[in-house]
Structure 1
Amino acid sequence: MTSFADAWVQAWNSHNLDDIMSHYAEDIVFYSPVIKRINNDPLGRIQGKEVLKAYFSKALVAYPDLRFELYHVLEGVDSAVLYYKSINNNLCTEMMVLREGKVVEVRAHYKAM
């Protein structure tokens, strides 16, 4: 799982959208408080890879200096929690459910927004 997490962080830090999206399944469901702000969506939920790609594209524009620093990877059964420094140096965790090496569900949590 550590190699997956390292590749995921490297993709985000490159800001290469295709590399970022390579980690997600077509039927991804993604929850985040940042979705509420960027998409003006009170549910904070995105479903589907193409919709997620559009959201990530907007997020990369909104946060041009975005850089992740991975602190810990917590492994579960077909899942992981990544603990890292995120937007504006805020602490974040993402609980990721994986299927066949792709992320099918994410629940992001931030210490401060």
Structure 2
Amino acid sequence: MIFPDKWAASWIEAWNRRDLDDLIGLYGDGIHLRSPFAKVYAEDGVIKGKEALRSYWGEVMRRIPELKLELVAVYTGHLALSFHYRDNNGRNCLETILFDERDKAIFETACLDRLR
């Protein structure tokens, strides 16, 4: 059973530590991530699979090493959650995650209040 507050907090903490292993461990093998920023790495804006996700986030962490995230709120659904966070540049993001039966994230979409 997914504990949304714990999952979201684990995600934020892993990101802020730059711990790709912990971050990727939250996902299933068939993860699909959609993000406006992913269009730089994938023409359709969709990152497919754990290894592609690792490469994508590793590159983001390399390019923006000072990026820190603060959890604002968590919203619970059925085999789903959304969480709102703010980065240290004041940008807000809402991530929505869908889970499989093993509580691994299989779909994620990011919505931002601004792209710059």
TM (norm. structure 1) is 0.92
More deviation in 73-82 or 99-108?
Answer: 99-108
Aligned to 1:50: 51
Contact 1:69 1:86 (C-alpha < 8 Å) held by counterparts: yes
- How far apart are 1:86 and its partner, in Å? 2.9
Q: Deviations over 1:10-29 (max 9, x none)?
A: 11110011111111111100
CA separation in 2, counterparts of 1:83 and 1:90? 11
CA separation in 1, counterparts of 2:31 and 2:9? 20
CA separation in 1, counterparts of 2:89 and 2:49? 27
Aligned to 1:32: 35
- How far apart are 1:46 and its partner, in Å? 1.0
Aligned to 2:11: 8
Unaligned runs of 5+ in 1: none
AA at the equivalent of 1:19:
D
- SS for the counterpart of 2:89 is helix
Counterparts of 1:26-105 in structure 2, within 5 Å, are: 26-37=29-40, 39=41, 41-86=42-87, 88-99=89-100, 100-105=102-107
CA separation in 2, counterparts of 1:44 and 1:86? 21
- Evaluate the alpha carbon distance shift between residue 67 and residue 103 of structure 1 in structure 2; reply closer, same or farther with a 3 A threshold: same
Percentage of identical aligned residues = 29
- SS for the counterpart of 1:89 is coil
* RMSD, aligned CA: 1.2
TM (norm. structure 2) is 0.90
Q: Deviations over 1:47-79 (max 9, x none)?
A: 111111111110101110111100110100000
Aligned to 1:111: 113
